[in-house]
Homo-oligomer: A and B are copies of this chain.
Amino acid sequence: MAGAGYPVSLRQLQYAVAVADTRSFRRAAEECHVSQPSLSAQIAQLEAGLGVRLFERDRRRVVATDAGQEILERARRLLVDAGDLVEAARRRSDPLTGTVRIGVIPTVAPYLVPDAAKSLRASFPKLTVAWLEDKTATLAAALGAGTLDAAILALPVPLAGGDVEHEEIADDEFLLATAPGHPLGVDTTPAKAEELRGARILLLDDGHCLRQQALAVCSMVNAQEVGFRATSLPTLVQMVDNGLGITLLPELGVAAGLLRGTGLVTRPLASDEPARQIGLVWRRGTARRQEFLLLAKELAERAK
C-alpha cells in the first residue's frame, strides 16, 4: 500500500490543467502566478513521472495528446475532489460560514433570489452567498468544474458527466397568460392544453430551459409558435401585453410580481399538464452537503 510515493503532485496536475485550458504554457504560467520556465519544468517532470507525453508543442499552439486527454480528465476530477477535501475540513472547523457560490437560471433568479437572500441572511448570518445568474448549460459546466458549489435548476438535471445530487425546492406550475380581452382569458377555470390548439404562442429564446418545458406542453397540441422569440420573461410579458400572442408563464414569476403594471390575465393549466420542478443541485461528494440540505429546505419554504 505504501509503495514508493506518487510520481505526481497536485501542483503539477494543476499546471497541466491550466495548460490544457489556456492552450499555452505562457498563459498557463500567468494564470498560475509562476514563471513560464517553472511551469515548463513541472510539466516536463510530470510527463517524466508518468512516462507519457501529455502535450504536443507545435509552433503556435499546444494540444493535448491522446493520453493527455485522458490524464487531464482524471486530473480535473482529482483536483475537484482535493478541493472538496480541503473544503470539508474548513466546514468542520466552522460550519455554515464563509462563501458559497450558487448559480440560478434566469427564469427563476429574479423571482426567488431577492427573497431567498434575505431569508438566508437571517437564518445563516455567517454564510455569504454569491449568486450567479446564467443558463442551465453554463451552470452545469461550472458545477462540474468546481467553480460553482451548487445551482438552482429545473429538474431533471441535464448534466453530461459528473455525479450530482439534488433536493427539490418547488413545483413551478405553468400559467396561461393572455392580453386583456383575449378569448382564452375570459374563462377563469383551469385551461386544458386542448384549448391552445391553433393559438399564436410566444416563447422564450433558445437556451432557456423554460422554453423546452413550455414547448413540451404546446407540442402535444401542435400549437403554433410565432416567428420571433423573447430574450427574457419581462420582454415576453410586454409582447403578450401588446397583443402579439399568448404565452405560458411560470407561477413563481407571476407570484413575484412579473405582471405588475400590465393588464395580463392568467389562468392555471389543468392539473394533468406538466409542471416544472425546481431543485437545488450540487456535486456528489461536496463538503457542504449538510448545508445544502438546510438551504434547500429554507428555499422551499420561501418558494411557497
Contact = CB atoms under 8 A, between A and B. Distances in A.
B92 A81 contact: no
Contact of A8 (B7, B10, B18, B285): B10
Given A52-B92, A71-B85, 8 more contacts: A5-B11, A6-B79, A6-B82, A6-B86, A51-B89, A52-B90, A71-B88, A74-B88
Q: How many copies does the complex hold?
A: 2
A14 B2 contact: yes
A292 B84 CA distance: 30
Nearest to A85: B74
Interface of A: 1-2, 5-11, 13-14, 18, 21, 31-33, 49-52, 66-67, 70-71, 74-75, 77-79, 81-86, 88-90, 92-93, 145-147, 285
Given A10-B6, A10-B8, A14-B6, A51 B93 contact: yes
Contacts of A9: 9-11
Contacts of A79: 6
A52 B8 CA distance: 25
Nearest to A78: B81
Nearest to A94: B51
A274 B82 CA distance: 44
Contacts of A1: 21, 31, 145-147
Interface hub of A10, A67, A146 (most chain B Cβ within 10 A) = A10
A75 B86 CA distance: 10
Contacts of A67: 89, 92-93
A74 B84 contact: yes
Contacts of A75: 85
A50 B6 contact: no
Contacts of A147: 1
B82 A51 contact: no
Contacts of A74: 81, 84-85, 88, 285
Contacts of A285: 74
Nearest to A34: B5
Given A2-B18, A2-B32, A78-B81, A52 B10 contact: no
B86 A7 contact: yes
A60 B51 CA distance: 43
A96 to B, nearest CB: 15
Contacts of A93: 51-52, 67
A277 B182 CA distance: 65
Nearest to A67: B92
B85 A8 contact: yes
A92 B70 contact: yes
Nearest to A75: B85
A21 B1 CA distance: 10
Nearest to A145: B1
